[in-house]
């Protein structure tokens, strides 16, 4: 039943297995946010801090997605729009703080970046594998998949940044990766806002025709 439902764009998460998976992923992402933010601040890595924010965004996204399961399309679309706005704000914050760091370059600790990025990548691969059957659906279901995908991609590029920092002994690769992650947040925000707004219009039109 789940596999069948997830092939449809209107899948709203009403599946016991999907709900159980969301609880597990909320726990994984909440833990990794704390670990990565502490490591990012301690290791002076802008890329790790940006990726930690992605984990925080995911935790909030999954929690909101869990809460709206079974609710009206209008409420689900409003929550999806809120998620899109939060991703947009995250993108702006990462971009602004990275530009600030351009004038105060401190080389991050490559070993910290690499080891934490590997741990985060493993956590995200687990999340992606759990969600692989649920990548399509309404804006809320879609946002869960996009956030998990962002994390997996983000961890790979953080590993590349750690390698760059180690080879060059400079912060430039770290800052470039942070800006890449900001662009990834912006892209996901656009997709979620676009689908959420379309679903909201559909809900309003359906209510007006009743």
- Residue 10: its pLDDT value, please? 61
- Residue 164: its pLDDT value, please? 73
- Residue 9: its pLDDT value, please? 53
d(CA 99, CA 94): 9
Residues of the chain with pLDDT under 70: 1-13, 97-98, 100-108, 168-171, 174, 207-210
Asked if the structure places residue 17 within a domain, the reply is no
Within 10 A of 2 (CB to CB), how many other CB atoms are there? 13
Asked if the structure places residue 13 within a domain, the reply is no
Please state the domain count of the chain: 1
Asked if the structure places residue 66 within a domain, the reply is yes
Asked if the structure places residue 203 within a domain, the reply is no
Joined together, the tokens standing for residue 90 give 């995250």
- Residue 119: its pLDDT value, please? 87
Residue 51 in contact with residue 162, Cβ under 8 Å? no
- Residue 6: its pLDDT value, please? 39
d(CA 63, CA 58): 8
Joined together, the tokens standing for residue 108 give 């991050």
- Residue 171: its pLDDT value, please? 66
d(CA 49, CA 114): 13
Per the structure, the complete domain to which residue 166 belongs is given by: 25-194
- Residue 107: its pLDDT value, please? 60
């Amino acid at each position: 039943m789940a596999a069948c439902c997830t092939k449809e764009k209107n899948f709203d998460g009403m599946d016991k297995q999907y709900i159980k998976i969301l609880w597990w992923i909320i726990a994984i992402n909440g833990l990794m946010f704390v670990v990565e933010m502490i490591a990012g601040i301690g290791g002076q890595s802008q890329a790790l801090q940006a990726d930690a924010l992605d984990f925080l965004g995911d935790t909030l996204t999954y929690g909101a997605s869990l809460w709206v399961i079974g609710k009206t399309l209008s409420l689900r679309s409003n929550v999806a729009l809120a998620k899109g706005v939060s991703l947009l704000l995250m993108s702006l914050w990462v971009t602004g703080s990275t530009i600030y760091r351009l004038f105060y370059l401190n080389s991050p600790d490559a070993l910290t970046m690499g080891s934490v990025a590997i741990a985060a990548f493993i956590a995200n691969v687990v999340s992606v594998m759990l969600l692989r059957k649920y990548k399509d659906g309404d804006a809320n279901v879609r946002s869960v998949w996009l956030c998990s995908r962002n994390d997996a991609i983000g961890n790979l590029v953080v590993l590349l940044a750690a390698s760059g920092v180690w080879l060059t002994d400079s912060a430039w690769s770290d800052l470039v990766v942070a800006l890449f992650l900001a662009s990834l947040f912006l892209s996901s925000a656009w997709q979620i806002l676009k689908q959420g707004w379309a679903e909201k219009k559909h809900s309003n039109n359906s209510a007006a025709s009743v």
